A and B are shown apart, each in its own frame.
Chain A
Amino acid sequence: NAGVTQTPKFQVLKTGQSMTLQCAQDMNHNSMYWYRQDPGMGLRLIYYSASEGTTDKGEVPNGYNVSRLNKREFSLRLESAAPSQTSVYFCASSAGRISNQPQHFGDGTRLSIL
Chain B
Amino acid sequence: GDSVTQMEGPVTLSEEAFLTINCTYTATGYPSLFWYVQYPGEGLQLLLKATKADDKGSNKGFEATYRKETTSFHLEKGSVQVSDSAVYFCALTSNFGNEKLTFGTGTRLTIIP
Q: What residue in chain B is nearest A30 (Cβ atoms)?
A: B99
* A107 at the B interface (CB under 8 A): yes
* A27 at the B interface (CB under 8 A): no
Bound complex: CA of A15 vs CA of B24, how far in Å? 39
* A101 at the B interface (CB under 8 A): yes
Bound complex: CA of A50 vs CA of B98, how far in Å? 8
- Find residues 28-70 in chain B having any chain A CB closer than 8 Å to their own CB: 31-32, 34, 36, 41-46, 49, 51
In the complex, which range does the number of interface residues on chain A fall in?
Answer: 20 to 34
Contact of A42 among B32, B43, B95, B103 (CB under 8 A): B103
- Known contacts A100-B93, A108-B43; A48 and B106 CB within 8 A of each other: no
Bound complex: CA of A96 vs CA of B105, how far in Å? 25
How many B residues, CB 8 Å from partner? 26
Collect the chain B residues with CB atoms within 8 Å of residue A90's CB.
Answer: 43-44
> Is B49 a contact partner of A100 (Cβ separation < 8 A)?
yes
Bound complex: CA of A107 vs CA of B44, how far in Å? 8
- Find residues 12-40 in chain B having any chain A CB closer than 8 Å to their own CB: 31-32, 34, 36
A-B contact pairs, 23 of them (CB 8 A): A42-B106, A43-B44, A43-B89, A43-B103, A44-B103, A45-B101, A48-B100, A92-B43, A92-B44, A96-B99, A99-B32, A99-B94, A99-B95, A99-B98, A99-B99, A100-B49, A100-B51, A101-B99, A102-B34, A102-B46, A103-B101, A105-B36, A107-B43
Q: List 9 other contacts, CB 8 Å, given A92-B44, A100-B32.
A: A31-B99, A33-B100, A40-B105, A43-B101, A97-B98, A97-B99, A99-B32, A103-B101, A104-B46
A interface residues with partner B (beta carbon < 8 Å) = 4, 31, 33, 40-45, 48, 50, 58, 90, 92, 94, 96-108
